[in-house]
Amino acid sequence: MPNLLGTHLTLVHNIIHLVSGAIALYLGLKGSEDGARTFCWAFGAVYLLLGVVGFALGSGDDRMFTVIPDQLMLGTMDHAVHVLLGVLFLAGGFMSKRP
């Protein structure tokens, strides 16, 4: 399984991040402020929860957490990236101006 800086990259994992990134870009550039804020809160909560659950339930030296066997396996660096993304999305959602 290819990796970059310790992350566990698979086709499924890459597609999930590309799709969520595309949605974030669309809502941030073309969508409404409410849509972008809602996306930030929802995806921020999901990414943060995924990272925390991965750290809590992961096993072994790499805190490996398997979501879909042989398709979506997450290790320590993946958990850290998910926590960081979650915090950034939530900060973006909470720091945005209300209309």
* 5-58 per-position pLDDT tens digit: 878 888 898 899 899 999 989 988 988 888 889 999 999 999 999 999 999 998
User: Residue 33 is part of which domain span?
Assistant: 3-95
Q: Which residue has the higher pLDDT, 42 or 62?
A: 42
Counted residue by residue, the chain has a size of: 99
Structure tokens at 43: 């995806």
User: What is the per-residue pLDDT for 54?
Assistant: 92
Domain count of the fold of the chain: 1
Cα 53 to Cα 19, 37, 48: the distances in Å are 22, 24, 9
Identify whether the C-beta of residue 78 lies closer than 8 Å to the C-beta of residue 71.
Answer: no
Question: What would you report as the CA-atom Rg of the chain, rounded to the nearest whole angstrom?
Answer: 14
